[in-house]
Amino acid sequence: MILEQTISPPPKSERKVSRREDNKLQRHDRAAHQWYRFVLSFPPHLVRDYIKKFELDESSSVLDPFCGTGTTLVECQKFGIKAVGLESNPVVCFASRTKLNWQIEPDELWEHAQRVAALTDAKLEDFGLENNRELMLLETAQNFRPRDLLKLPADLAKLILKNSISRLPLHRTLVLLETLEENRDDRFYDHERLALITALVNEISNLHFGPEVGVGPAKFDAPVVSLWLDNIRRRLEKFAILSSNGKGSSS
Ligand SMILES: C[S@@+](CC[C@H](N)C(=O)[O-])C[C@H]1O[C@@H](n2cnc3c(N)ncnc32)[C@H](O)[C@@H]1O
């Protein structure tokens, strides 16, 4: 079923609360939704309200023609409602698709990610870079030749905001991506890349959101591999919860 009903604004009494609640992600909604979000994402409670209002159940089908990072699709999947999404931005579409894949064995993902992290650390150390979060990165990153740092090809560099990522974090990220590719396991590949995208946007890059996207002060360095692993670790326990609750199928 395509939602044909007109969506009317909530009554005044509810508006205050929902404005206060805003788009903030509630603790209990972090599973899947937090794996990648952007400012335009619907808040999950709004989707749940409409699922209830339209009395949708397992016999319903939902089409979200502008599905963004997939809030509607994820909520539908949790309730066992079939849902289909369309999205024109390929990265956002990738995020949505990955957020709907809950059939992951967490221990195996963690083992694979740790192996990739160790291999990446070894390559970075050979290059003269360490990845120890406890140490001042400024002090540890002294023994490399700046001209050997990896860069984005010119056609790709044009696509990102100027100065949105510093040279050392970019080098670390490209080495991690290369190692992921060399050790690719299709069971985990999308989740591992989505975790890197999330870490890049929120922690590794110089981007800031207020709520418009902008470029903040340049970071000299960032512990890319640790941030990526943290991001994966935070989602591990969620797979078990989601796959036992999620009944529907979304795409
Ligand atoms: C407000 S967001 C969608 C939020 C989403 N429905 C949710 O559940 O969180 C709107 C999305 O529409 C996408 N979009 C804009 N024009 C589009 C088009 N012509 N076809 C498909 N997607 C489009 C944008 O890239 C953006 O990600």
Instruction: Please tell me which residue, 10 or 185, carries the higher pLDDT value.
Output: 185
CATH superfamily of 12-100: Vaccinia Virus protein VP39 (3.40.50.150)
CA pair distance 3, 46, nearest whole angstrom = 15
118 and 226 Cβ atoms separated by less than 8 Å: no
Ligand 1 mutation target, pool 37, 63, 67, 77, most atoms within 8 A of CB: 67
Q: Is 250 in the pocket of ligand 1 (CB under 6 A)?
A: no
Token readout for 72 is: 């509607």
Shortest-distance atom of ligand 1 to CA 73: 8
Centre of ligand 1 from the C-alpha of residue 88, in Å:
7
CA-CA distance, 169 to 191, in Å (whole number)?
Answer: 20
Mean pLDDT of 132-152: 68
Instruction: Indicate the Cα dihedral angle 114, 192, 240, 49, nearest 10°.
Output: 150
Ligand 1 atom closest to Cα of residue 85: 6
Residue with tokens 């935070």: 234
The pLDDT tens digits for 39-86 are 778 899 999 999 999 999 999 999 999 999 999 999 999 999 999 999
Phi/psi region, residue 56 (left: phi>0; alpha: psi -120 to 50; beta: rest), is beta
What are the backbone dihedrals phi and psi of residue 136, each rounded to the nearest 5 degrees, phi first?
-70, 115
End-to-end Cα, the chain, rounded Å: 15
What DSSP line would sit under 120-158, residue for residue? Answer: HHHHHHHHT----TTS-HHHHTTSS-GGGS----HHHHT
Residue 61 contacts by C-beta under 8 Å, 6 or more apart in sequence?
1, 2, 81, 82, 83, 84
**In 3-state terms, what secondary structure has residue 58?**
coil
Q: How high is the pLDDT of residue 250?
A: 72
Is the confidence at residue 13, as pLDDT, over 60? no
Sorted by where each begins, the domain ranges of the chain are 12-100, 106-238
Entry pTM? 0.85
- pLDDT confidence of 28, banded at 50, 70, 90? confident
* Residue 98 Cβ contacting ligand 1 at under 6 Å: no
Check if the beta carbon of residue 76 is closer than 8 Å to that of residue 250.
Answer: yes
